Amino acid sequence: MAVSSARATGAVGTPRHGIERTGDLPWIEDTGKIAPQDARALSKLFLDRLQELEEGTPAHAYARNTLIEMNLSLVRYAASRFRNRAGDDTEDIIQVGTIGLIKAIDRFDLSREVEFATFAVPYIVGEIKRFFRDTTWAVHVPRRLQELRVDLAKAKEQLSIEQDREPTVKELAEYLDLPEEEVIEGLVAANGYSAGSLDTPAVDSDSGKDRRTFADLLGEPDPAMESVENIQTLAPLLEQLGVRERRIVQMRFGQELTQSQIGAELGVSQMHVSRLLSRIVSRLRTGMCVES
């Protein structure tokens, strides 16, 4: 019998805290020592009793916790399917998969006459897939586009095999029965799945020298661009000024004459030049604000 076999390994023993603690279930000393075959038989026994035990009691907690510990191998098995994607998150994947295992234990019904492992693995895998879907995108995009990325990847792979080349947007749209605009949106959103470091070398060389990073190739804001834009906006406004006003602007800002020098040139007082300049500058400033 499975329980007897497990007891022979020293994994099953006498309840330490009385019959109330285990609810007539065998006391599992070390779930790690139970063979997979014995774990399946014990799981069936524990699941059967779990449905009869009152939630919140020590016996119910013992049965549920032991079921989780005995079936962690299912979580490790499911997580191994994602080892290429897990990277340094293997421990997180195990924890997420354990959540799926707990959900399977709470929702399992023996009357379905299905093996618990068969029932639990889809829950575990589903929880892990949800983890990747919700946490691995470098840029947050709507779930609709996350799912579209998967469909596009499958469609591109299938069409590439059939046509021996990369499919066009039109071909992808026809294959998926979607508008081309939605396919383009999905392709653009797919760029947000992963992000590269700006310190990643953009150019590799055999010698290892001249390894420029992406940051080295990025442009910087050109302060002169704002001046160009201002000049382009200011030019038609200057043409709207009178001859005398344009001459005052030229002398003040082009020749950099003082107000006194401009007054002497025009035969007016320095105060009058100041008033004229204030009126002209205010008119130009208002015009540029309207243009922008």
Selected residue with higher pLDDT from 96 and 83: 96
- Does 130 lie in the same domain as 175? no
Closest CA to 273 of 290, 255, 291, 249: 249
How many other CB atoms are there within 10 angstroms of residue 269's CB atom? 13
Give, as one character, the DSSP assignment of residue 28. E
Domain region containing 197: 143-217
Which of 191, 217, 243 delimits the end of a domain?
Answer: 217
Cα–Cα distance measured from residue 238 to residue 241, given in angstroms and rounded to the nearest whole number: 5
Residue 10 sits in the same domain as residue 130: yes
Within 8 A by CB and 6+ apart from 196, the residues are: 214
Residue 7 has pLDDT above 50, yes or no: no
Q: Which pLDDT band, with edges at 50, 70 and 90, does 205 fall under?
A: very low
Express each pLDDT in 147-189 by its tens digit: 787 888 888 888 998 888 989 999 999 999 989 988 888 888 7
The model carries a pTM of 0.46
- One-letter amino acid at 189 equals A
- Range in 4-8, 75-79, 115-119, 274-278 the model is least confident about: 4-8
Inter-residue contact 288 to 230 (CB < 8 Å): yes
Structural domain total, the chain: 3
Q: CB under 8 Å, gap of 24 or more: what pairs does 134-139 form?
A: 136/85, 136/193, 136/194, 137/192, 137/193, 138/192, 138/193, 138/194, 138/195, 139/192, 139/195
For residue 73, how many other CB atoms are within 10 A of its CB?
15
Give the chain's end-to-end CA distance (angstroms, integer).
86
For residues 39-46, give the mean pLDDT. Answer: 85
Question: What integer is the mean pLDDT of 58-78?
Answer: 90
pLDDT at residue 135 in the model = 64
Q: Verify that 210 and 238 share a domain, yes or no.
A: no
* CATH number of residue 169's parent domain: 1.10.10.10
pLDDT higher than threshold 50 for residue 9: no
From the list 194, 196, 226, the residue with the least C-alpha distance to 214 is 196
* 198 pLDDT more than 80: no
106 lies in some domain: yes
Q: How far is the C-alpha of 170 from the C-alpha of 159, rounded, in Å?
A: 12
**pLDDT classification of 19: cutoffs 50, 70, 90:** very low
Please tell me the predicted confidence (pLDDT) of residue 1: 41
User: Which DSSP category does 178 fall into?
Assistant: -
Q: Mean pLDDT for the chain?
A: 79
Among 109, 135, 161, give the residue marking a domain's end.
Answer: 135
Determine the pLDDT at residue 14: 46
Please say whether the beta carbons of 68 and 101 come within 8 A.
yes
Measured distance CA(229)–CA(220) in Å, rounded: 17
Q: Are residues 155 and 97 in the same domain?
A: no
126 vs 96: CA distance, rounded Å:
10
222 assigned to some structural domain: no
Read off the CATH number of the domain in which 109 is found: 1.10.1740.10
Distance CA 23, CA 212 (A): 68
